[in-house]
Structure 1
């Protein structure tokens, strides 16, 4: 009996983290949090920013024009995200921490500059350049944590890391509830310059991972992008690209239009402008809490039933919750409360992104890991940019945002058909 108890105790014991691993994780988490905050600031300030800038650019600030311009600007942002694949080869060549700091510095500077925009063209340029920086942060933060943390802790580390992005959503909502309501959209963009401090701390405090240093000593770097598209990795690269594309299309369709949907529902219920903005902030906070819980629940589930079945559960949940929130609750006579309730569910299953932080590093060796992570995420963003543009056109044509967004649930149905082609890595150690 005692031996069984001792064995169970040993199984529960985790390898302790050293100071560098802890500092590195918090640096990556803080960067990812501020990245999420930056990404969602745009969604929250979309309506007031374009209401001011469209007339200055020669366009009427009608609801249709705001919807179309918002989709075009967000598509530009996603194209910037897509171009961020350049960070992967740089990180495989020069190290994770320095390039991670560079991505944070870039998105912080151009988010801050967005506060100075005098027309929609300037705002579009700043958001595009901020997107290039933001897009690299996830790939490099995920790669860093996977390589720096011990094997018996890195899976939960992926879940913990992913909570940062949605903590950033919550932070953006809190800032909008306070700063945005009182000081306007320009002040919101100015808060996005804060991550510069995090970038400096990463450069000063975080050491490079041993796995990367050891791989650097063994391998003469050639062309990692060519390798992940070659015979050895081709299938898993393209399957990962497809799955990430589906995740990006679905989650961003819901997340970007969520504040506008809540504002419309709150206004329909009789709320004034300030009350509607506060309602959107509260709804975003609820969405964020749901997603954080989904991220934390995912790693244990992935260890129990495997990576593929876990993603299938989360994709099915996304399909149902997007259809129910935007296709059903949005059109109810008093739909605000049911819509927000479904947002929590949508947020929970939106935690599927945590699986990619766990799963992608397991599919590629150290010498090409950052390149593969960055390429797969960037591919999805390019496609997502095109879908977002089409979504904006559909909103303009149909004069409603509910049905077009609800139709993105079909992407997750397609995802369920793609999952069987992915490799199952449950129980495998991170490849060297």
Structure 2
């Protein structure tokens, strides 16, 4: 027998504002761009060993495991620096609109990912990955800003969770491509697949309407067109919010990227230790990446309802605790077990779930800044963490080289989440508040 609560819930669902065609097309364009962004990011982790094994000798270096690890860390750090420089897209989007600049970010990372397939030396590959990073880094800020502004108030929070699943669907797609195309045709074919997002960028540019919020802000505040939005996010109104959000994103990026990027290498080592040949070990890495991605997608979808029930700060605290525990256990414990492959992969699923903490930033950051500086704030806060992530990645590479082990250096990144837990209370709680104009 239906209760009053059931009736109220059904009524609430029935009253949910329907999406128009532009909002639907815009979401799928942003989601597809974010999916292909995630695919592009993770392609590098999956093809790291074969690509560097071929390119290091052509660059004058022996393709030893130590050199592959060190070069991989350096190239990934360069990618993160490019990703960090992507804050340039935010002011452009606040000045010229969300959709055109979103399309430009997708186009940029697609072109340079495709060019990576033509690399003849490690340095060429590093250069292409740097510029791909500039494009990839901007996509999240622009996609998150677009969905927050374009979707109705009663749907935008869940929209943030839906959007964030795209990045990890990209991980899954990269793993599937590596399992098929990569295994059959090699690492260059994997980078060539990265050209596909050009189609998405054209669709976004031609078919998606600019958000009403941005257009209204432009009409109401024409005098701020030439005011620096970067300066505005550090005024008295926003300074604390900007700094705290940047610190929290730094924590998230250091932890998740350390775990996710080195996960295929760790699985390959454990699979080889378990007696698998190189081919089967590479396929096992793809399967493990798929499980990591599924866990993260579930975590992204579970997060918005939790954030609405217990608030943004408590939700992030739960996810940070989960990340710290799963990274420490996976890389500090399971990695060193005599038969650690199965428990390591099981912990990767848990790590993936709590890695869904990034969905909170897609929901939370737009709520903290008004429309005229929203894209700039989003892009800046996400970019700062990438610069620090690059520094930490250099440190991880050096530790791996000196300690001659992968597990302990990655496990130590769990400490970053403990720092994040101390910072969370400084952030504003925006539960129940509408997106500011």
Same fold? TM cut 0.5: yes
Q: Summarize the alignment of residues 31-430 of structure 1 with structure 2, pairs less than 5 Å apart.
A: 31-219=33-221, 220=223, 221=225, 222-430=227-435
CA deviation vs aligned residue, 1:62-114 (integer Å, no higher than 9, x gap)? 11111110000000000000000000000000000000000000000000000
CA deviation vs aligned residue, 1:275-333 (integer Å, no higher than 9, x gap)? 01100000000000000000000000000000000000000000000000000000001
The worse-fitting range, judged by mean Cα deviation, of 214-223 and 347-356 is 214-223
Determine if the alignment matches structure 1 residue 11 to structure 2 residue 16: no
Shift of 1:3: 7.9
TM-score using structure 1 length: 0.99
Q: Distance in 1 between the 2:234 and 2:245 partners?
A: 12
Shift of 1:9: 3.2
Where structure 1 has 5 or more consecutive residues not aligned to the other structure, the ranges are: none
Q: Distance in 2 between the 1:235 and 1:131 partners?
A: 27
Q: Distance in 2 between the 1:210 and 1:269 partners?
A: 56
The alignment yields a C-alpha RMSD, in angstroms, of 1.1
Q: Distance in 1 between the 2:255 and 2:248 partners?
A: 11
CA deviation vs aligned residue, 1:374-396 (integer Å, no higher than 9, x gap)? 00000000110000011101100
Q: Secondary structure at the match of 2:47?
A: helix
Q: Distance in 2 between the 1:81 and 1:59 partners?
A: 27
CA deviation vs aligned residue, 1:203-252 (integer Å, no higher than 9, x gap)? 11100000000001111221111010111100010000000000000000
Q: Residues 3, 185 of structure 1: CA spacing in aligned structure 2 closer, same or farther, 3 A cutoff? A: closer
Shift of 1:4: 7.0
Q: Secondary structure at the match of 2:428?
A: coil
Q: Residues 55, 147 of structure 1: CA spacing in aligned structure 2 closer, same or farther, 3 A cutoff? A: same
Shift of 1:5: 6.5
Q: Distance in 2 between the 1:160 and 1:3 partners?
A: 29
Q: Distance in 2 between the 1:184 and 1:348 partners?
A: 30
Q: Secondary structure at the match of 1:230?
A: coil
Q: Secondary structure at the match of 1:61?
A: coil
TM-score using structure 2 length: 0.98
Q: Distance in 1 between the 2:234 and 2:117 partners?
A: 40
Shift of 1:6: 5.5
